[in-house]
Amino acid sequence: MSDLIWSAIAPELVLVILSGLILVFGVWKKPPLRSMAVLVGAGLVATWAAWGLQLSRLQDIVDAGSFGALAFNDMVITDGTAVIARLILMVILTLAVALAWPMLDEIGQRSAEALVLMFLATAGFMLLAAAANLVMAFIGLEVGSISLYVLAAVARKSRLADEAAMKYFLLGSFASAVFIYGVALLYAGSGSVSIDALRSFSGRVIVSPGVLYVSMAMLVVGVLFKVTAAPFHAWAPDVYQGSAAGVVGFMAAAAKVGGFVALVRIVGITYIRFAADWRPALAAIAALSIILGTLLALSQTDFRRMLAYSGIAHAGFILVGVAAGRSANEAILFYLAVYTVQLVTAFGIAAIVSGPTSSGSPFSAYKGLASRSPFLAAGLATTMLGMSGMPITSGFIGKLGVFRAAWEKGLEWLVVVALVASVAAFFFYLRVIVDMYMRDPDEETSDVAPEPAVAGRVAIAVAVVVTVLFGLYPSPLLDLIRNVVS
Amino acid sequence: MDFPMLSLLILVPVIAAAVVMLLPKERTELHLPVALVLSLLPVGLGGVLFARFESVAGFQFVEQAPLIERWGVSWHLGIDGVALPLILLTTILIPISIAASTSIAKNAQLFLVMVLMLEAGLIGVFSALDLIVFFVFFEAILIPMYFIIGIWGSENRIYAAIKFFLYTAFGSALMLVGIIALSVMQQNKTGVSSFDYTVLLGLEIPPATQAWLFAVFGIAFAIKVPMFPFHTWLPDAHVQAPTAGSVLLAGVMLKLGTYGFLRFNLPLFPDAAVRFAPVVATLAVIGIVYGAAVAIVQTDLKKLVAYSSVSHLGFIMLGIVALTQNGLDGGVIQMVNHGLTTGALFLLVGMLYERRHTKLIADFGGLQKTMPIFAGVFLFSTFASIGLPGLNGFVGEFLVLIGSYATLPGFAVVATAGVVLAAVYLLWAYERVFTGVADKPENQDVPDLNLRETLIFVPIIALTLVLGLYPKVLLNRIEPSTAGIIDRIEATTDYVEPTFVIGEPSE
């Protein structure tokens, strides 16, 4: 058992141990949230340290693995992509915990559950991103997804939240089933469930060649569901509108990171020989997601629904990179990093504006926000500009990266579609800014001045600085991704 | 590398904006003076640029540092004789706009921050020599202008702000397609991606590719100019924008379009430039006549000035696509002239509005008697705009006309009508607003320009006279660069500039 390389899963280990501690401590002692904060803070620091350890040991892990960077009986792969995916997940976890604090405060006793679910979801998606075996990927996917289903209803306050959680659970389970069926068919077709099952594939199949195509389609569809790509997106708006405000940003972001990294591996490693088949299909799904997400986002009256639809469009933008193939991997990771930070921030601000356990966040609540809470308005404005891909924000660099890669690979039409949609998308991103800066508040909200708690304030400030900094000078992050990934 | 003058020039307004932002919110009396004083620093730096600028072709004050090495993006700045006048114009119009913004009541602090950020962006656009850096600045200036129109504009401001933003963003998206395509072409050719303007000039692009690249860049810039039929955002934006917004929009931002044609469309796609020159010239001439004709029938003074911009920018475009030395020189100098005169006219309309809260021509009459200084400045600006010899407008229009007559004679003849029409709409407007008897009681005691307002116009009037009487001071610096553009077109295509040259206007 020489390949039990613990540092290959160090961050997940810390997160799981931390979850256990919180659960025990929380259930037995029922401590006030304040003392829990110490444990959570220490745990997050430990997770970061574990990640740092992993990064510094990256070369050792690669050398010690039985095959390249594989560990745990070829279940877990430790490569740059996995390390960066963990980094992104930890960033959004840290931001999300800071932004969710008012909600945790409000739900009292259940705050321990919420925290545990967030940590377990993170660990699950980390494993999904690091899975070298599709059964492992399924376990990671399910640990992550099931935690999110429960998290959706953690505030347990409104019927909308129940509906959201139920819908998410039913459709999510269905997608997971599709995914595992795909794994089974891959096994039927190749005799392996390893991520590189078809690496030495000779072309002789056990059942029939069609099986492999079906397995590919099912694996891809299962993951596309999780990342809210059209036409597998229908659940997203209801879920993101209805779920507990404090954690919905985390829910949306974590699933996207894990899902996209898994997708990149599935199409880029498992089915790389079928690139000629999946490339046009993914390009079409990308175009559909972009167009549908953008068009539907235009007509929303609720900020969180709008974010959900814009998330569908963003899934499309990232798919543009996935369709471009391997050369876009760094651009995809950069895009995921900056977009998910913006996503968590935007939902976090929505939770501050509409209340930490609210279901929904109507646009009218944002009217005149700039005069009531200048800090929040500036934060949200920057986030919206970042999401829209406005130059000087990191969103632009992300888009530039994936579009450039797609253009190089001959997907010119897709780039044009994506760019036209980006312009249309300005309309709904700017709408929030219009409401905040250019309209007067409604009468009932005119003297409401929502203010974030200290932790939330810091999180928003960090997100804004990161968004602008990596927009003006993206090299540090791009270089980190490149050095680690290659 | 020399001292990074251009980076400093971009940074100073950003720092100024930060300083204004950090001033205590309740000390409202401090905001504007501090911003005004700080905005004078770039004027001084601009003066240094002007003094140290050598009248030779090529880029000066060049600085370069890698930004994203993998994609070949670098912080590459530098200016030539085309960019220099526009940077100077920007630095001069910013303090003027700030000084004219005393009537901004709501959150003036944020307004001043936006104006200063706009300045940084504009200087960045005119000095960027990397296509991504250019694009970032080109887009980034939308944000402050969007806020300026949307927050401090008049009733219909939100509609105007969004229309302005979306129109320009659409053009930019097209241009981004072209930029990406250029970098991929460079990568396919040399194996190394680059967005560097001076590197991309070395690409030999096949004519068919040049055609569509010219089109995507061209549409982006044509929207910005704006050229007919992409002009419809302009009247809305101008009429709704606060005075400072209109001044900067007309004075500088429209020049981004014409500058873009000169900087990118002509040198990068010379073959397409020669082929499409008649098309662009047609749109330019339609713009000249259409803008003037619509200006004549306006009842709103601000709209009249806005449409006059469509007409004047048509002249500049005609000069550029004439592809002659005189035409290009005239185009560049006319960019500066238009910035000064239209800036002055928008300032005047704004001041009139502050006094009477109307912009309708029919509401005025006989103002000459009650506000003689104001009327004098207005008449002076009108003459400059019409192109009265001795004032700056004449030099530019004359160069454009003789320049375009050499290659596009038919267009030049029609464009001349625009000169006549300009006299019609402006002088007629002057007559209706200022002459006659002040028969409306509210027009009988309108206060004249006060000292602050008069001082605002002093630099504009001085520059109008200097450029009118001694244009060589600027032309000297412009000519080597415009000659370089013509040389490049001649070197890469069959095009030969006609030797038929009338000669310089006598000084």
Average model confidence (pLDDT) across chain A:
88
Do residues A206 and A191 lie in contact, with contact meaning Cβ atoms separated by under 8 Å? yes
Q: How confident is the model at residue B44 (pLDDT cuts 50, 70, 90)?
A: very high
Residue that has been written with the tokens 């700080």 in this structure: B38
Do residues A354 and A245 lie in contact, with contact meaning Cβ atoms separated by under 8 Å? yes
Please judge whether A437 and B69 are an interchain contact, meaning their C-beta atoms are less than 8 angstroms apart: no
Task: Identify residues of B whose CB sits under 8 angstroms from chain A CBs.
Answer: 66-71, 107, 132, 135-140, 142-143, 146-147, 150-151, 157-158, 161-162, 165-166, 169-170, 173-174, 176-177, 180-181, 183-184, 187, 193
pLDDT at B205 exceeding the cut of 50: yes
How far does the CA of residue A168 sit from the closest CA of chain B (Å)?
36
Q: What's residue B493's pLDDT?
A: 83
Please judge whether B173 and A478 are an interchain contact, meaning their C-beta atoms are less than 8 angstroms apart: no
Q: Mean pLDDT, to the nearest integer, of A97-103?
A: 89
C-alpha B183/C-alpha B192 separation (Å) is 9
Nearest to A419 among B69, B138, B177 (CB): B177
Residues shown for chain A: 486
Task: Name the residue among B208, B224, B176 with its Cα closest to residue A416.
Answer: B176
Q: What's residue A200's pLDDT?
A: 64
Give the best-scoring range by mean pLDDT among A85-99, A237-251, B100-114, B358-372: A85-99
Give, rounded to a whole angstrom, the gap between the first and last alpha carbons of chain B: 38
| Phi/psi of residue A229, nearest 5 degrees | -90, 140
Helix (H, G, I), strand (E, B) or coil at B4: coil
Q: What's residue B443's pLDDT?
A: 76
Distances (CA, A) of B14 to A379, B113, B123: 19, 9, 11
Task: Provide the CB-side half-sphere exposure for A55 (13 A, CA).
Answer: 17
pLDDT at B227 exceeding the cut of 80: yes
pLDDT at A341 exceeding the cut of 90: yes
Do residues A241 and A305 lie in contact, with contact meaning Cβ atoms separated by under 8 Å? yes
Q: What's residue B507's pLDDT?
A: 47
Please judge whether B166 and A426 are an interchain contact, meaning their C-beta atoms are less than 8 angstroms apart: yes
Record the tokens describing residue A429, joined without a space. 């991103």
Q: What's residue A161's pLDDT?
A: 79
Residue type, B248: L
Share above pLDDT 90 across residues of chain B, in percent, rounded to a whole number: 38
The pLDDT tens digits of the residues spanning A269-311 come to 888 888 888 899 999 999 999 999 999 999 898 999 999 999 9
Q: What is the largest CA-CA distance in chain B?
A: 75
Q: Looking at the complex, does the CB of residue A434 fall below 8 Å from at least one CB of chain B?
A: yes
Burial class of B21 by CB neighbour count within 10 A (0 to 12, 13 to 18, 19+): middle
C-alpha B113/C-alpha B143 separation (Å) is 12
The pLDDT tens digits of the residues spanning B242-279 come to 888 899 988 899 999 999 999 999 999 999 999 999 99
What are the contacts of B93-96 at 24+ separation with CB within 8 A?
B93/B247, B93/B248, B93/B251, B93/B252, B93/B339, B93/B343, B94/B13, B94/B39, B94/B42, B94/B118, B94/B119, B94/B248, B95/B36, B95/B39, B95/B40, B95/B43, B96/B247, B96/B343, B96/B347, B96/B456, B96/B459, B96/B460
The pLDDT tens digits of the residues spanning B467-498 come to 888 888 888 899 899 988 988 888 888 888 77
Do residues A348 and A95 lie in contact, with contact meaning Cβ atoms separated by under 8 Å? yes
Q: What is the largest CA-CA distance in chain A?
A: 72
Nearest to A392 among B70, B136, B184 (CB): B136
Q: Looking at the complex, does the CB of residue A375 fall below 8 Å from at least one CB of chain B?
A: no
Q: How confident is the model at residue A201 (pLDDT cuts 50, 70, 90)?
A: low
Q: Looking at the complex, does the CB of residue A366 fall below 8 Å from at least one CB of chain B?
A: no
The pLDDT tens digits of the residues spanning B9-34 come to 999 999 999 998 888 888 888 888 89
Q: How confident is the model at residue B67 (pLDDT cuts 50, 70, 90)?
A: confident
Mutate to test the interface with B, among A404, A431, A478 (most CBs of B within 10 A): A404
Q: What's residue A203's pLDDT?
A: 58
Q: Looking at the complex, does the CB of residue A465 fall below 8 Å from at least one CB of chain B?
A: no
Distances (CA, A) of B122 to A118, B134, B265: 45, 10, 19
Cis check for the bond before B226: say yes or no (omega within 30 of 0).
yes
Q: Looking at the complex, does the CB of residue A475 fall below 8 Å from at least one CB of chain B?
A: yes
pLDDT at B107 exceeding the cut of 90: no
Residue that has been written with the tokens 């194996």 in this structure: B191
Mutate to test the interface with B, among A434, A465, A473, A482 (most CBs of B within 10 A): A434
C-alpha A403/C-alpha A380 separation (Å) is 25
Please judge whether B68 and A390 are an interchain contact, meaning their C-beta atoms are less than 8 angstroms apart: no
Chain A 334-353, residues with CB within 8 Å of chain B CB atoms: none
How far does the CA of residue A437 sit from the closest CA of chain B (Å)?
7
Residue type, B183: S
Q: What's residue A55's pLDDT?
A: 84
DSSP string, B10-25: HHHHHHHHHHHHHS-T
Do residues A246 and A99 lie in contact, with contact meaning Cβ atoms separated by under 8 Å? yes
Residues of A in contact with B242 (CB under 8 A): none
Q: What's residue B127's pLDDT?
A: 93
Q: What angle do CA B432, B435, B438 make, to 5 degrees?
A: 90
Q: Mean pLDDT, to the nearest integer, of A447-470?
A: 89
| Phi/psi of residue B101, nearest 5 degrees | -110, 30
Please judge whether A385 and B143 are an interchain contact, meaning their C-beta atoms are less than 8 angstroms apart: yes
Share above pLDDT 90 across residues of chain A, in percent, rounded to a whole number: 47
pLDDT at B231 exceeding the cut of 90: no
C-alpha A303/C-alpha B52 separation (Å) is 53
Q: How confident is the model at residue B501 (pLDDT cuts 50, 70, 90)?
A: low
Mutate to test the interface with A, among B22, B25, B70, B194 (most CBs of A within 10 A): B70
Task: Give the CA-trace dihedral at A298, A299, A300, A303, to 10 degrees.
Answer: 30
Q: Looking at the complex, does the CB of residue A438 fall below 8 Å from at least one CB of chain B?
A: yes
Q: Looking at the complex, does the CB of residue A25 fall below 8 Å from at least one CB of chain B?
A: no
Q: How confident is the model at residue A202 (pLDDT cuts 50, 70, 90)?
A: low
Helix (H, G, I), strand (E, B) or coil at B209: helix
Do residues A389 and A261 lie in contact, with contact meaning Cβ atoms separated by under 8 Å? no
Task: Name the residue among B399, B423, B393, B426 with its Cα closest to residue B412.
Answer: B399
Please judge whether B68 and A397 are an interchain contact, meaning their C-beta atoms are less than 8 angstroms apart: yes
> What angle do helix axes B325-356 and B83-99 make, rounded to 10 degrees?
10
> In the 8-state DSSP scheme, what is residue B196?
B
Record the tokens describing residue A257, joined without a space. 């990171």
Q: What's residue A1's pLDDT?
A: 44
Task: Name the residue among A189, A168, A264 with its Cα closest to residue A223.
Answer: A264
Number of A/B CB contacts below 8 angstroms equals: 82
Give, rounded to a whole angstrom, the gap between the first and last alpha carbons of chain A: 28
Q: Looking at the complex, does the CB of residue A63 fall below 8 Å from at least one CB of chain B?
A: no
Residue B48 C-alpha from the chain's centroid: 22
Residue that has been written with the tokens 């459709």 in this structure: A171
Share above pLDDT 70 across residues of chain A, in percent, rounded to a whole number: 96
Convert chain A into a string of H (helix), E (strand) and C (coil): CCCCCHHHHHHHHHHHHHHHHHHHHHHHHCCCHHHHHHHHHHHHHHHHHHHHHHHHCHHHHHHHCCCCCEECCCCEECCHHHHHHHHHHHHHHHHHHHHHHHHHHHHHHHHHHHHHHHHHHHHHHHHHHCECEHHHHHHHHHHHHHHHHHHHCCCCCCHHHHHHHHHHHHHHHHHHHHHHHHHHHHHHHHCCCECCCCCCCCCCCCCCHHHHHHHHHHHHHHHHHHCCCCCCCCCHHHHHHHCCHHHHHHHHHHHHHHHHHHHHHHHHHHCHHHHHHHHHHHHHHHHHHHHHHHHHHHCCCEHHHHHHHHHHHHHHHHHHHHHHCHHHHHHHHHHHHHHHHHHHHHHHHHHHHHCCCCCCCEHHHHCCHHHHCHHHHHHHHHHHHHHHCCCCCHHHHHHHHHHHHHHHCCCHHHHHHHHHHHHHHHHHHHHHHHHHHHCCCCHHHCCCCCCCCHHHHHHHHHHHHHHHHHHHCCHHHHHHHHHHHC
Distances (CA, A) of A330 to A9, A61, A416, B463: 22, 21, 21, 52
C-alpha B232/C-alpha B227 separation (Å) is 9
C-alpha A112/C-alpha A119 separation (Å) is 11
Record the tokens describing residue B380, joined without a space. 């002076």
Do residues A435 and A367 lie in contact, with contact meaning Cβ atoms separated by under 8 Å? yes
**Cβ of A64: how many Cβ atoms within 10 Å?**
18
The pLDDT tens digits of the residues spanning A423-452 come to 999 989 998 999 998 888 887 777 777 888
> In the 8-state DSSP scheme, what is residue B191?
S
pLDDT at B504 exceeding the cut of 60: no
> Closest-CA residue in chain B for A388?
B169
Record the tokens describing residue B26, joined without a space. 């309740």
Do residues B169 and B214 lie in contact, with contact meaning Cβ atoms separated by under 8 Å? no
Q: Mean pLDDT, to the nearest integer, of A106-124?
A: 88
Q: How confident is the model at residue A206 (pLDDT cuts 50, 70, 90)?
A: low
| Phi/psi of residue B444, nearest 5 degrees | -85, -20
Please judge whether A404 and B174 are an interchain contact, meaning their C-beta atoms are less than 8 angstroms apart: no
Please judge whether B184 and A408 are an interchain contact, meaning their C-beta atoms are less than 8 angstroms apart: yes
Residues of A in contact with B184 (CB under 8 A): 404, 407-408
Average model confidence (pLDDT) across chain B:
88
C-alpha A314/C-alpha A292 separation (Å) is 11
Please judge whether A423 and B135 are an interchain contact, meaning their C-beta atoms are less than 8 angstroms apart: no
Record the tokens describing residue B337, joined without a space. 């002239």
Nearest to B135 among A391, A404, A407 (CB): A391
C-alpha B381/C-alpha B312 separation (Å) is 14
C-alpha B238/C-alpha B291 separation (Å) is 14
Q: Mean pLDDT, to the nearest integer, of B321-339?
A: 91
Q: Mean pLDDT, to the nearest integer, of B357-383?
A: 86
How far does the CA of residue A246 sit from the closest CA of chain B (Å)?
30
Task: Name the residue among B122, B125, B119 with its Cα closest to residue B175.
Answer: B125
> Closest-CA residue in chain B for A475?
B68
